[in-house]
Amino acid sequence: MKSTTHDALLSFLGGASWAFAIIGTWVTFQSFIFLGFVTALLFTFLFLFVALLIIVILENLSLSRDRYDEVLKQTAFLEEIRNTLITTESPALE
């Protein structure tokens, strides 16, 4: 399968986002633990929500790109079928 720069970039950003979410969650919890356990959990969940939102957006972009590539393949195939039908039916129409 042909991989483009766009696909490689989305894949890299997806992996980096997961690493950011995992490491950032731990760092956020450790940073706010001095304010209390409940407060640290609250800020950790807020951070995790934002990080997972970024991951969902990147996955959506990747799926949209895959869908676009598939539509291009289907369009080329349908045009080939149309051209074949036009060339085989042309003599019959005359």
Q: Average pLDDT of each block of 10 consecutive residues along the chain (94 residues)? A: 77 91 95 94 95 93 90 94 83 53
- State residue 47's pLDDT score: 95
Residue 23 burial (CB count, 10 A): 11
Nearby residues of 65 by Cβ (< 8 Å), 6 or more positions away: 6, 7, 10
What pTM was computed for the model? 0.74
Structure tokens at 26: 């731990």
